[in-house]
Amino acid sequence: MSFVLHVQPRAQLGSGVKRVRRDGFVPGVMYGQGEEAVPIQFKELDLLRLLRSGGSAHLIELHGLGPNPVHVLLREVQRHPTRHTILHADFYRVRMDTPVRAEVPVHFVGESDAIRAGAVLIHHLDRIEVECLPADIPEAFVVDLSRLVHVDDVIRVADLTVPPRVTLHHEADEIVVSLTVPRAVAIEEEAAAEPTAAEPEVIRKGKAEKEEEGE
């Protein structure tokens, strides 16, 4: 699956990027494959739409740099620390016949009886690192939560359905998602398991002596 982003060559460099932003564009750069880096600019709304559609981990076609689209992967998005607007974006140029590494999101489906009963879901991996040809990058890894029946159930990397020609860069026994009991319940169970402290013998002896003196 590929996404499309319309871009333009960018002439302003260095401090000139302020003018780019004033004109309503976001500065970016395309690099990789031993070729010269190309400054570009694009509309922020166009990239936001692409990100919301899941394009951050997938093959992107940049249109506007020549007669043919350029295939890239989004490597970094810089945002303003308070306004969270996009300040800059880096795109890595890829060759369709050369394997690349990418991070593919994990999507969760289904319902777990254990979660409905009060168990807490713990996400250990939200993305899976893969290596494959750009055209073979999976859209997502789908994890069915209905497989989690008991509190000690887990779903591991080995349980994922991996498409052909895709290699995962994770250990097979690495946990993707697991369950745990709510903290309040765990504290109550620990308290119930603790033995009741016996009354010290010296206190019992003291009480007995006082009773004898009273007689």
Domain segments of the chain: what residues?
2-94, 101-193
Res 201: pLDDT:
56
Find the length of the chain.
215
User: Which pTM does this prediction carry?
Assistant: 0.74
Task: Dump pLDDT digits (tens) for 56-84.
Answer: 888 999 999 999 999 999 999 999 999 88
Separation of alpha carbons 169 and 118, rounded Å? 33
Res 190: pLDDT:
53
Rounded mean pLDDT, 26-30: 95
Res 202: pLDDT:
55
Separation of alpha carbons 177 and 148, rounded Å? 9
Res 206: pLDDT:
53
Which ranges of 73-132 does DSSP label H, i.e. alpha helix? 113-116
Task: Match domain 2-94 to its CATH number in 2.40.240.10, 1.10.150.130, 3.40.50.620, 1.10.390.10.
Answer: 2.40.240.10
Element (H, E) at 193: helix 183-193
Res 90: pLDDT:
96
Whether 5 and 62 have beta carbons less than 8 Å apart is answered as: yes
Whether the per-residue pLDDT at 198 is higher than 70: the answer is: no
Task: Dump pLDDT digits (tens) for 127-139.
Answer: 999 999 999 999 9
CATH class of 101-193: mainly beta
Whether the per-residue pLDDT at 187 is higher than 50: the answer is: no
* pLDDT tier at 12, thresholds 50, 70, 90: confident
